[in-house]
C-alpha cells in the first residue's frame, strides 16, 4: 500500500445544512490511490458516495456547513488552494469527473464534438483547432465514430452519450478520473462495452480511476482496490482480489451475499432493515442495528484496524490488526 500515492484522502468531511438538520454526507473518509490504479467505492443509495465525488473535486452546493480534511494530490494538500487556484490547477487538469446520469447532462444546443473540446480551451488556453484535434483523439479512445462529432446530444443513444461524457473527462489527460455510476442506466452489452473501454484507457493512458457504484458485479471488472462506504464512512478498504474472495466487514460480507450470481448456485440473501439516515447520526457503529455479529462494544464508534494490508472499521478485528494511528482519525 505504500506506493507513490497519487491521491490521499485524510479525514475528509462534507456536511450539508438542510431544513431538517445537518446531513453528514461524508464523515471522515480516508483512503489512498496510486498511479494507474482503480479504486471502486461501493455503497448503496444514501451512503454519501456521490457527495464524496463532489467533495474530492470541490463541487460544493450552496448549503455546505462543514468542508474539511486533507486531499493530497501528488503530495500537495489541494484543500489549501483557494477557489481560483483549484479551478485552474486541479479541476479538470489533474482530476475530472463523469457525474451520475452524465449522458443526460450534455448540453443540448452544442455539438458533442465541441463539448468535448471545450475543457481543452478553458484549461489549457489552446485554440479551437487544436482542441478539436484532441477531442478527436478522445473519440477514438472511447470508440465513437468520428462523424458523430458533428451531431447533437439527442441524436445519440444512451451508450454513445455516456462515452461522450467520458471523452469529455479524458480530454485534458488528467491523472485521475472519478466516475459516479457510469453504467447504471445502460444495457448489459453497452455496460460491457464501457467497462472494456475503461480498461483500455487505463492501459493506454495510465489513468487512475475512482469508480463509484452500487453494482458490485460490474465493479469487479475494473477494481484494483475496493472501498466500501456505509452511512458516510468507509468501513473497509481492500485489495480487490482479497475483497471479492473474502470480505472482512460484516456489511461487505452481507453485500457480497446479496448479489445474485449467474455462474454459481447460491441463492442470494438480503439484508434486513435500512441504512440510517445521514441526519442526526448517533454514536456507535452505524451498521450495528443490522449486523448479525453485533455485541456490546458496538455502542462505541469503532476505530479503523489494519489487517494484512487491508483496513476495516469494525470492533471484531480488535485483536487481529493494529489500530490505525490516532492522529489520522481524530481532528479537533
Positions that interact with another protein (CB under 8 A): 38, 44-45, 62, 157-159, 187-193, 195-196, 199-200, 214-224, 240-241, 243-245, 254-256, 258-265, 267-271, 274
Task: Compute the distance between CA of residue 37 and CA of residue 181 in angstroms, rounded to an integer.
Answer: 18
**CB of 61: closest distance to another protein in angstroms?**
10
Total Cβ atoms within 10 A of residue 34: 17
Pick from 33, 35, 53: nearest CA to 43: 53
- CA–CA dist 267, 125 (Å, integer): 56
Question: Which is closer to another protein, CB of 120 or CB of 231?
Answer: 231
**φ, ψ at 106 (rounded to 5°):** -75, 145
Q: Cα angle at 259 between 254 and 262, to 5 degrees?
A: 145
The least CB distance from residue 223 to another protein, in Å, is 6
Strands (E), the chain: 5-18, 21-34, 38-42, 64-73, 76-77, 95-98, 176-180, 208-213, 225-230, 233-239, 305-307, 310-312, 322-323
CA-to-CA distance for 126 and 118, rounded, in angstroms? 10
CB of 102 to another protein, least distance (A): 18
Buried/exposed 292-301: b ≥16 CB within 10 Å, e otherwise? eebeeebeee
Per the CB < 8 A criterion, the answer to whether 22 and 80 are in contact is no
Amino acid at each position: 500500500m505504500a506506493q507513490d500515492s497519487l491521491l490521499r484522502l485524510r479525514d475528509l468531511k462534507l456536511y450539508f445544512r438542510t431544513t431538517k438538520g445537518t446531513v453528514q454526507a461524508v464523515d471522515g473518509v480516508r483512503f489512498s490511490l496510486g498511479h494507474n490504479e482503480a479504486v471502486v467505492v461501493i455503497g448503496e443509495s444514501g451512503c454519501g458516495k456521490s457527495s464524496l465525488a463532489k467533495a474530492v473535486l470541490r463541487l460544493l452546493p450552496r448549503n455546505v456547513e462543514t468542508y474539511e480534511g486533507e486531499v493530497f494530490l501528488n503530495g500537495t494538500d489541494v484543500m489549501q488552494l483557494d477557489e481560483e487556484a483549484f479551478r485552474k490547477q486541479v479541476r479538470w487538469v489533474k482530476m475530472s469527473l463523469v457525474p451520475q446520469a452524465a449522458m443526460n447532462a450534455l448540453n443540448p444546443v452544442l455539438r458533442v464534438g465541441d463539448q468535448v473540446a471545450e475543457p481543452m480551451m478553458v484549461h489549457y488556453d489552446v485554440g479551437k483547432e487544436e482542441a478539436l484535434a484532441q477531442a478527436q483523439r478522445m473519440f477514438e479512445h472511447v470508440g465513437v465514430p468520428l462523424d458523430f462529432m458533428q451531431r447533437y446530444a439527442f441524436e445519440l443513444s444512451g451508450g454513445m452519450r455516456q462515452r461522450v461524457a467520458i471523452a469529455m473527462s479524458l480530454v485534458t489527460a488528467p491523472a485521475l478520473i472519478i466516475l459516479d455510476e457510469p453504467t447504471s442506466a445502460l444495457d448489459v452489452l453497452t455496460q460491457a462495452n464501457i467497462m472494456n473501454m475503461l480498461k483500455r484507457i487505463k492501459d493506454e493512458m495510465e489513468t487512475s480511476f475512482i469508480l463509484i457504484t452500487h453494482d458490485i458485479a460490474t465493479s469487479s471488472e475494473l477494481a484494483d482496490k475496493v472501498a466500501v462506504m456505509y452511512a458516510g464512512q468507509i468501513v473497509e478498504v481492500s485489495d480487490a482480489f482479497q475483497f471479492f474472495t473474502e470480505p472482512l466487514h460484516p456489511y461487505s460480507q452481507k453485500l457480497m451475499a446479496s448479489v445474485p450470481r449467474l455462474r454459481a448456485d447460491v441463492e442470494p440473501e438480503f439484508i434486513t432493515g435500512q441504512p440510517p439516515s445521514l441526519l442526526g447520526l448517533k454514536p456507535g457503529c452505524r451498521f450495528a442495528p443490522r449486523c448479525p455479529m453485533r455485541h456490546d462494544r458496538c455502542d462505541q464508534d469503532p476505530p479503523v484496524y489494519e489487517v494484512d494490508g487491508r483496513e476495516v472499521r469494525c470492533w471484531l478485528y480488535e485483536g487481529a490488526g493494529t489500530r490505525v494511528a490516532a492522529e489520522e482519525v481524530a481532528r479537533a
